[in-house]
A and B are shown apart, each in its own frame.
Chain A
Amino acid sequence: MVMLEVKDFGKRFTSHHLNTTRKAVEGISFSLEQGGFIGIVGKSGSGKSTILKSIYRTYLPDEGEIWFDSERFGRIDLLKAEERQVIWLRKHEIGYVSQFLNVMPRTTARELVEQALLGMGESHEAATIKAEQSLRHFDLDERLWDTFPNTFSGGEKLRLNIAIATVKKPRLLLLDEPTASLDYQSKLKVREVIEKLKADGTTLVGIFHDLEFMEGLCDCVYDMNEKALRGMPEVQR
């Protein structure tokens, strides 16, 4: 079953300050089966994040179609979905993880994960249990659960971020360079986390800046340069 289908997608940005309009991406098409993992590769500035942010509707896209197979709404074009539908999908079906953690102040790691569940209408009891399971699943040190994430390390923030995004079991998870600021050891941890997500059957679209990291993880890659899907490239060692 096709979970995500991007058709002739394009996005331009207008800067009123410079009085210019710039095309960030155009002519992007690919599709992704349920449970699959596509990595997007390309130079910095080639528009990888633009694609992800447009799927999540953080960017208001202006060309093409992005079809998503929603449990609630059926097949839905995310570019034309109403704002209230997008909000619902973000709460229940589509997750987004970047290297940045942007959360409510004075809220503990545990509360943040619980709140994602409460927002979906789960009971307090169920939220407590599932939040703990999730934090444990992604190896966040138990001593950090009741502290505030402002002082977490990059790796800890990322694991919390992934816990928040995945605890609601999204059908589609978008990974926007989550490993960008991590050292090798932390990256290995993230790799384990992503392997767990794949094993859980989550459909993934991800951007990673090193190919080595993606090897054996992605089913295929979308090359921004060739504008086509292809198998995982061999990594030159």
Chain B
Amino acid sequence: MQRFEERPLLKVENLTKQYGPGCGECSQPGRPGLIKNYCPSCGTVYACSDVSLDVYPGEILGIVGESGSGKSTLMQCLYFDQDVTSGTLTIDDPELAGENLFDVSSQRKRYIRNHKYGMVYQNPVKGLRMDFSSISNIAEKQIAAGGRHVGQMQSAGERLLDVVSIPLFRMKEEPRNFSGGMQQRVQIAKALSNDPPILFLDEVTTGLDLSVQAAVIDLIKQIQRDLGISMIVVSHDLAVIRMLADRTLVMLNGRVIESGLTDQILEDPNHAYTQQLVYSLL
């Protein structure tokens, strides 16, 4: 049998994020004695414990789990919004080869964010400047990524707004005037404006009504198909994950408890929690 010769684009090994000092008991391998993700003797909370994952080129990886399971913390650690306690992150890119990107300088982290990453937050307030025009929001990221030619940036920005179906006659308007779905689409346009090879999507369809949700899902799929961008999609909505992701991780109390092909996770779940999650599907 031949092996698959592809290499992961983004690789995370044993990412741990703790709030608190940790003690002799909760620092043991496997962290026995935790109540959920909380150490009763020192009060440390383990938001993420030994999370490992691979994202392959052009792939959408899904992450599901209940509120508080560590999904968003994981995304924020990967996007350098938060520092990790321990763990390694590598990206298969000639510019970044062989480095643990959690350990590099903040200047270099900013470079990676500006050139390699796009991020779409659940709350557009975190990803957009609500009092700048939509096209300026996009320009901000383009400039951060090294763009200097105003004409080129403007036309690229218009093309992106068109991709996400924001009418161009409203591009000079501030996103605070827009509906939630429109804000989310401006955020996606902004996240794509530096041509990132990696895109993080954190609960992007939560709170949107059905038709807008369908439009956003459709847009994400289209981006994957046409641009070949690798994505991590976090959602507590199994239906969204089913539509988007080929592979899925299930998180509980800061740990990955099950991973597999998305349809296998949904139809043949093995972990008790995953079974419960699937039984809860409407």
Contact = CB atoms under 8 A, between A and B. Distances in A.
Interface of A: 13-17, 53, 57-60, 72-77, 82-88, 102, 104-107, 115, 118-119
Nearest to A16: B272
Nearest to B246: A87
A76 B1 contact: yes
Contact of B225 (A14, A72, A102, A115): A115
A72 B2 contact: yes
Contacts of A84: 4, 6, 56, 247
Given A72-B2, A107-B218, A118-B225, A60 B272 contact: no
A126 B97 CA distance: 37
Interface in B207-252: 211, 214-215, 217-218, 221, 225, 242-243, 246-247
Nearest to A19: B272
Contacts of B27: none
A14 B275 CA distance: 10
B276 interface: yes
Given A58-B268, A104-B218, A105-B218, A87 B261 contact: yes
A105 B222 CA distance: 13
Nearest to B239: A105
Interface in B260-275: 260-261, 263-264, 267-268, 270-272, 275
A106 B215 contact: yes
11 contacts: A17-B276, A58-B267, A58-B268, A73-B2, A75-B1, A83-B247, A83-B260, A105-B214, A106-B218, A107-B218, A119-B225
B169 interface: no
Contacts of A118: 225
Nearest to B268: A59
Nearest to B242: A102
